[in-house]
């Protein structure tokens, strides 16, 4: 079936650096994408989303880029802080009548060193 | 504060027993979902409900059951038929199809 995957399972950065987390998706019908942050023992926390009619969206210190040509999604975190250390998941909605049925990637572990 | 409450946070059961996980939301969201998360893996959809008194199977519904008698509540029962019930269970809700899911903080179920 269709799935969402990640290029890198772990990412280590120094505090203050910019982080880029990548995600590949295979379902060309997907029209809505979300990034979540999950800290240990907690539920995923919404970071930012983007619809397929856009290729870039910015939030506070985060930017999501969508390249539909190569089916690639990325999350950029500016000036990464130790509090950003967590597992990051991308998720896609396959479109049609899929009411909120998100397909999640396996996650990338981000570690920020002081 | 609006949000999703899952209880209990930790749950222990003996093999062969059914167990029910609670999920309550006060966000006035129509849709609710149950996901399962295993160590080092993404989330997999168990059941979802778009409206009261209606629900659909997700990708891994076998061994689970749900009910949706009230808009605010979507309890999940893990039955003895579920072969590998030990996992982290996450409940979520969304306002509509094109809105992000909001998650609770999960229930960690251990079956021995």
Residue B8 clears pLDDT 70, i.e. is over it? yes
Rounded distance between C-alpha atoms, residue A58 and residue A50, angstroms:
9
Residue B48 touches partner A, C-beta closer than 8 Å: yes
The predicted pLDDT at position B26 comes to 96
Peptide bond into B8 cis (omega under 30): yes
Q: What band does A39 get if pLDDT is binned at 50, 70 and 90?
A: very high
**Are residues B48 and B23 in contact, defined by beta-carbon separation less than 8 angstroms?**
no
Q: What is the pLDDT of residues A55-107, one digit of tens each?
A: 999 999 999 999 999 999 999 999 999 999 999 999 998 765 556 678 888 89
Closest CA to A109 of A24, A20, A9: A9
Chain A positions touching B48 (Cβ under 8 A) are: 99-101
The predicted pLDDT at position A96 comes to 57
> Are A101 and B31 inside 8 Å of each other by CB?
no
Residue B97 touches partner A, C-beta closer than 8 Å: yes
Chain B positions touching A96 (Cβ under 8 A) are: none
Residue B61 touches partner A, C-beta closer than 8 Å: no
Mean per-residue pLDDT over chain A, rounded: 88
Chain A positions touching B101 (Cβ under 8 A) are: 34, 44, 46, 100, 102
Residue B110 touches partner A, C-beta closer than 8 Å: no
According to DSSP, the β-strands at B10-13 and B107-111 are parallel
* Percent of chain A surpassing pLDDT 90: 70
Q: What is the pLDDT of residues B91-100, one digit of tens each?
A: 999 988 778 8
Nearest-neighbour CA in chain A from B80: distance (Å): 25
The predicted pLDDT at position A18 comes to 97
Q: What is the pLDDT of residues B12-57, one digit of tens each?
A: 999 999 999 999 999 999 999 999 998 877 899 999 999 999 999 9
DSSP class of A83: G
The predicted pLDDT at position A4 comes to 52
User: What is the per-residue DSSP string for B21-50?
Assistant: EEEEE-S--SEEEEEEE-TT--EEEEEEEE
Minimal-distance CA residue of chain B relative to A97? B97
Residue A3 clears pLDDT 50, i.e. is over it? no
Q: Which of B6, B50, B101 sits opposite A102 (nearest CB)?
A: B101
Residue A54 clears pLDDT 60, i.e. is over it? yes
> Hey, which bits of chain B come out as E strands?
4-7, 10-13, 19-25, 31-37, 43-51, 54-57, 64-66, 76-78, 87-94, 102-103, 107-111
Chain A positions touching B29 (Cβ under 8 A) are: none
According to DSSP, the β-strands at A62-67 and A102-104 are unpaired
Q: Which of A4, A44, A98 sits opposite B103 (nearest CB)?
A: A44
């Amino acid at each position: 079936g269709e799935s969402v995957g990640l290029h890198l399972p772990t990412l280590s950065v120094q505090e203050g650096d910019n982080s880029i987390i990548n995600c590949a998706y295979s379902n060309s019908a997907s029209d809505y994408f979300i990034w979540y942050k999950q800290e240990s023992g907690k539920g995923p926390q919404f970071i930012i989303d983007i619809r397929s009619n856009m290729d870039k969206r910015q939030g506070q210190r985060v930017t999501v880029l969508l390249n539909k040509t190569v089916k690639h999604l990325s999350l950029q975190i500016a000036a990464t802080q130790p509090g950003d250390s967590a597992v990051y998941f991308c998720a896609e909605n396959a479109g049609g009548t899929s009411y909120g049925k998100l397909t999640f990637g396996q996650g990338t572990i981000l570690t920020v060193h002081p | 504060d609006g949000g999703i409450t899952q209880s209990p946070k930790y749950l222990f059961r003996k093999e062969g027993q059914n167990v029910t996980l609670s999920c309550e939301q006060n966000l006035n969201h129509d849709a609710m979902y149950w996901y399962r998360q295993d160590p080092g893996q993404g989330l997999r959809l168990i059941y979802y409900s778009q409206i009261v008194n209606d629900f659909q199977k997700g990708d891994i519904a076998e061994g689970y059951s749900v009910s949706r008698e009230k808009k605010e509540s979507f309890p999940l029962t893990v039955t003895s038929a579920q072969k590998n019930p030990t996992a982290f269970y996450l409940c979520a809700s969304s306002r509509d199809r094109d809105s992000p899911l909001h998650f609770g903080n999960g229930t960690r179920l251990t079956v021995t």
